[in-house]
Amino acid sequence: MALKKTHAAALCAALLAGGCSFAEDALFPDTGTGAPTQAADAYGTSGPPMMGSSGYEPVTVSPGSPTGTFVGAKVAALRGDLQALQATLARQNQSLQQIRNETVQDSQRYHGTVAAINARLQVGTTPGNPILQQQWNAAQSELDRITDDVLKMNRLTNEVTSSSTLAGYLLDSVRAARSLSGAVDEDHRQLRILEDETNRTVVMVERLLSELTSDSIRQQQYVASEKQNLNTLALGIKNGAIFGGGLSNRLGGGYDAAPAGRAIASGEMPLVTIRFDRPNVNYEPALYTAIKSALDRRPNATFDVVAVAPAGATPGAQALAATNAKRNADSVLRSLTNMNLPASRVRSTSTTSPSAQTGEVQVFVR
């Protein structure tokens, strides 16, 4: 909801970083009826998702005696097919357990490295600390190893899918063999046993496939999320201050992107005003705090980033001011992307203002 100039008296703007002011109290007045804003958890404390822990050892195939009939020979061939399938499943189960162990070890190393970076940022450090940058590079390499584990999991999923298809075909073949002519009672007895064992194998391979697929999906989502969170962590290292996690963790579902072509209403109060009145304005901590607070209170919020140029005395000066303001707005947009705010939540526009003394970037919440 847009706030007009009549609400300006309620503003308690806090100067957080150089030329960056944050008007969160005015935009979101505390009425005492809303739920309290939760503080961000320290980055990297949630850990990887749980993986399945089941083992899938194939059942033993019962031996059978030759009967000398055509059906008996068919039973022996089907029994051999089941034994070969179960040998394949045993290897796949072994591969699954090995991938799980590797994933756990890689995840522990990754979270240990991230925790060390986070602990150093928590107590404060210098911006761009090279030691933390080296640790961040190590964390990136460790996350790449987890990505390799996920790829192994996906390949194994494809293999187990083939085994599942084969198991279903084998069960159909065993059942079809019971209708063949020329069988003796012993053939049908062995077929009943073989059908039971094949059916149990089908159930086992389906459970294996289901658990493996779930593990793979969760790990893929986890890696994707951690890649975004590493961007936020890099932002913290750059500023020498802790960031409470990616902004994507605070987004609500079912939102619409900011409508194209929407103009900024005259007199509307910005959530953040960043004044680029000197080189290297350190605006990111204040920007993160403002956007996080807005999303804590309104998870479905979208944002307008407006490049505000002062009115120039000449057309040339005006064009130069507009170019500089646009460059600063692009920098703010990149910062929001690094904080994991989706591009669909942000729209960029530009304007001029006779009251602006220098180039500004204003961020409005919707």
Tens digit of pLDDT for each residue in 275-331? 988 888 888 888 888 888 888 888 888 899 999 988 866 776 777 788 888 888 888
Q: 269-279: string of b/e by CB count within 10 Å (b at 16+)?
A: bbbbbbbbeee
Binned at pLDDT 50, 70 and 90, residue 46 comes out as low
Beta strand 303-310 with 346-353: parallel, antiparallel or unpaired?
parallel
Strands (E), 169-279: 272-275
Does position 39 have pLDDT exceeding 80, yes or no? no
Residue-averaged pLDDT of the chain: 78
More confident residue, 27 or 69: 69
Beta strand 20-22 with 272-275: parallel, antiparallel or unpaired?
antiparallel
Q: What is the pTM of this model?
A: 0.61
The percent of residues in the chain predicted with pLDDT above 90, rounded, is: 25
The candidate with the shortest Cα–Cα distance to 204, out of 172, 149, 160, is: 160
- pLDDT on residue 254: 37
The predicted model gives 89-93 an average pLDDT of: 91
Other CB atoms within a 10 A radius of the CB of residue 116 amount to 16
Helix axes 315-338, 185-239, angle to 10 degrees: 140
- pLDDT on residue 209: 86
Residues 6+ apart with CB under 8 A from 243: 40, 43, 232, 233, 235, 236, 285, 288, 339
The predicted model gives 56-83 an average pLDDT of: 87
Cα–Cα distance measured from residue 113 to residue 101, given in angstroms and rounded to the nearest whole number: 19
pLDDT tens string 55-67: 677 778 888 888 8
More confident residue, 23 or 192: 192
The candidate with the shortest Cα–Cα distance to 284, out of 347, 346, 331, is: 331
- pLDDT on residue 139: 93
Contact (CB, 8 A) for 44 and 25: no
Binned at pLDDT 50, 70 and 90, residue 151 comes out as very high
Question: Within 13 Å of residue 145, how many CA atoms lie on the same side as its CB?
Answer: 18
The percent of residues in the chain predicted with pLDDT above 70, rounded, is: 78
Range with the lowest mean pLDDT among 96-110, 183-197, 241-255, 271-285?
Answer: 241-255
- What domains lie within the chain, and their CATH numbers? 5-30+254-365 (3.30.1330), 70-239 (no CATH)
Nearest-5° angle of CA 316, CA 318, CA 324? 105
The predicted model gives 42-60 an average pLDDT of: 62
Does position 261 have pLDDT exceeding 90, yes or no? no
The predicted model gives 232-249 an average pLDDT of: 75
3-state secondary structure of 361: strand
Binned at pLDDT 50, 70 and 90, residue 36 comes out as very low
